[in-house]
Chains A and B, each alone.
Chain A
Amino acid sequence: MAHRFVEHVGEVEVELEADSETGIFASALAAFAELVGAGEGGEPAVHVVELTADDPPLLLVEWLNELVYLAEVEQFVPERLAAIDLLDGRLRATVAGRRAAPRHLVKAVTLSRLELDRDGARWHGRVVLDV
């Protein structure tokens, strides 16, 4: 499972890789956590996220959009994926993190250059974030 920020003049583009589809969602969470970050402190917190979407790439966008919302409104900085179930366009996940002021915010998750696909045993994804 890995993520990599690639050059994008205007925004932030992230490439994701994993050996499973759920790994892509975990990788996206790790990329988001690295982007928003937070200083020390803050109470531990857990959020359960339930989402549906018409297709897998859109579910990835919805997943990140949920993290955007939680960071901005709930001041929830995610740290790790405690559990995830993914089936037929439905996602249920438990996210562990802290209630703390994010250092940075993401405005939105775009559909531009969006990818979530499988190549043999490896899964890869791509998403562009408006920051």
Chain B
Amino acid sequence: MGGLSSTSDLVQIDETSWEIPAAARADMRVPARVFADRELLEAILGDQSLEQLQNVATLPGIVGAALAMPDIHQGYGFPVGGVAAMELPDGVVSPGGVGYDINCGVRLLALPLTAAELGNRREPLVHELSRAIPAGTGKHGPLGLSRSELDRALQEGPRVLVERGIGREEDLARTESQGCLPGADPAAVSVRAHERGAGQLGTVGAGNHFIELQVVDHVFDPAAAEAFGLGEGQLTVLVHSGSRGLGHQVCTDYVRAMDAALARYGIVLPDRQLACAPASSPEGRAYLAAMAAAANFAFANRHAMADAVRRAVARVLGKQAAEAARQVYDVAHNVAKVERHDGRELLVHRKGATRAFPAGSEEIPAEYRAVGQPVFIPGSMGTASFVLVGRPGSMARSFGTTCHGAGRAMSRTRARKQIGGAELRRQLEARGIVVRCPSNKGLAEEAPFAYKDVERVVEVVERAGLAGRVARLVPIGVVKG
């Protein structure tokens, strides 16, 4: 595994893309390509993420190139910010190419008032959000689903919650894949995964997951912003979470199963975590059924939290404000989906990457079809987040994909050495950001300086033609696990 140490190890394709040719390693089937400017690329070369991207380029059935978004960083097996499209039926599916937090993603709600109208109710609102949504390690949610209701959520996603009066029908339409990946099979989800997820619906979890109260501080694309129901000064709430322990266990179970099956399929890997099997094999089909179930659980999880956000809004700002709180959209960051690109049926793995289909796609809700799919890019805590819109370049260059966040630049350990949680909390509050987080250690690990510059990341995807900036959102309150 020859290490990459400088930009001279890559071929510059244009101002925002670089390539490691397939000939760089004997086992690579396609090139490895990264979207970045020179400064981001220098930072990316500081960890092992491009070597991991080369490893992805060795997987059977991969087409085009193993792709990396500008927020790429070192993960396990696949890099975070990686995209790999496999030709069906016999290209492989790799659970590690989706990750443990299956369908980790974000949902944006637009509130019907401005920061000025919120006035001194900001702190009460953040406090109420922290009371309404359990955060932290293994916290149990308020829903108490029976086993059969949980299995329906795995099969159908948040629709089962709408039937119980939780959330709205219109929320389903404004969710990627209408909140339900096809082919989900609860029977493919282990008992242990059921146990880990059973009480966790409606909980945000820990790590980098959060609920953020924000203000739209700048609109870049007025037409798209209007279509998404966003205007300058408006309040928004961004919910970031995934499939919790259920998804973690699904990935664990199927990495194990595929690791055991590698020899049977004659697959040799440079990293054991890339364990995979042909998508058409019994192992591949079972994983895709379980992954879809975990993804539907994650859609339901964010749906339940969005309902809790509306209830918190009702308590602090009144019933009318809650009723007018509108879900803009919900997007997945960690998922594998069957899609058609250039006339081929492909299984597109996105790990820490967001689908970003352009205007005209039938996959986009009708009300957004003229402008393109909304994409939400959370910044690091305390910095701006962005609303983007899918552009045609994404279909031509990245299997309809863009970045998913700022991307870590520093380990959690180093972040903790640089700042204590209490000090970070003081700094954020001095900047007018209300913080609710049960763990000072967890807070310090997510310090803004531990991430790349989100403004630069979104500028690259815009210049690359993958997505365009619609609005910038700045935080005024954060609830972290």
Q: Which residues of A contact B (CB under 8 A)?
A: 5, 7-12, 54, 58, 65, 69, 71-73, 75, 101-105, 107-114, 128, 130-131
Contact = CB atoms under 8 A, between A and B. Distances in A.
B252 A108 contact: yes
Given A8-B411, A111-B273, A112-B76, A65 B252 contact: yes
Contacts of A7: 411, 413-414
Interface in B87-119: 96, 99-101
B137 A101 contact: yes
Contacts of B414: 7
Contacts of A10: 73-76, 80, 408
A11 B74 CA distance: 8
A72 B137 CA distance: 8
B272 A111 contact: yes
A72 B77 contact: no
Given A58-B259, A72-B138, A104-B206, A131 B76 contact: no
B206 A105 contact: yes
Interface of B: 47, 49, 73-77, 80, 96, 99-101, 137-138, 192, 195-196, 206-207, 245, 248-249, 251-252, 255-256, 259-260, 271-273, 275, 408-414, 439, 441-442
Contacts of B442: 104
A102 B76 contact: no
Contacts of A12: 412
Contacts of A71: 138
B273 A112 contact: yes
A112 B271 contact: yes
A69 B77 contact: no
A108 B272 CA distance: 15
B196 to A, nearest CB: 6
Interface of A (DSSP majority class): loop
Contact of B76 (A69, A72, A75, A128): A128
Nearest to B250: A108
B252 A105 contact: no
A69 B137 CA distance: 13
A104 B138 CA distance: 9
A110 B137 contact: no
Contacts of B206: 104-105
Given A9-B47, A101-B137, A104-B442, A110 B410 contact: no
A69 B413 contact: no
B73 A9 contact: yes
B207 A131 contact: yes
Contacts of A103: 137, 439, 441
A111 B262 CA distance: 14
A130 B409 contact: no
Given A69-B192, A104-B442, A110-B77, A9 B413 contact: no
14 contacts: A9-B73, A9-B409, A11-B75, A11-B76, A69-B196, A72-B137, A73-B245, A104-B206, A105-B138, A111-B272, A111-B275, A112-B273, A130-B248, A131-B412
B261 to A, nearest CB: 11
Given A9-B73, A69-B192, 19 more contacts: A7-B413, A7-B414, A8-B411, A9-B47, A11-B75, A11-B76, A58-B259, A69-B196, A72-B245, A101-B138, A104-B137, A105-B137, A105-B206, A108-B248, A111-B271, A111-B272, A113-B271, A114-B273, A128-B273
Contacts of B413: 5, 7
B75 A111 contact: no
Contacts of B408: 9-10
Contacts of B77: 110-112
A112 B99 CA distance: 12
Contacts of A69: 192, 196, 249
A8 B52 CA distance: 13
A108 B100 CA distance: 7
Contacts of B73: 9-10
Given A72-B245, A73-B195, A105-B137, A111 B411 contact: no
Nearest to A109: B252
B139 to A, nearest CB: 9
Contacts of B96: 110-112
Contacts of B259: 58, 111
A110 B273 contact: yes
Contacts of B256: 58
A72 B96 CA distance: 21
Contact of A107 (B75, B192, B248, B412): B248
A131 B192 CA distance: 19
Contacts of A130: 76, 99-101, 248
Which 5 pairs, one residue from A and one from B, show the smallest C-beta to C-beta distance? A112-B76, A112-B273, A111-B272, A110-B76, A108-B100
Best-surrounded residue of A11, A58, A101 (most CB of chain B within 10 A): A11
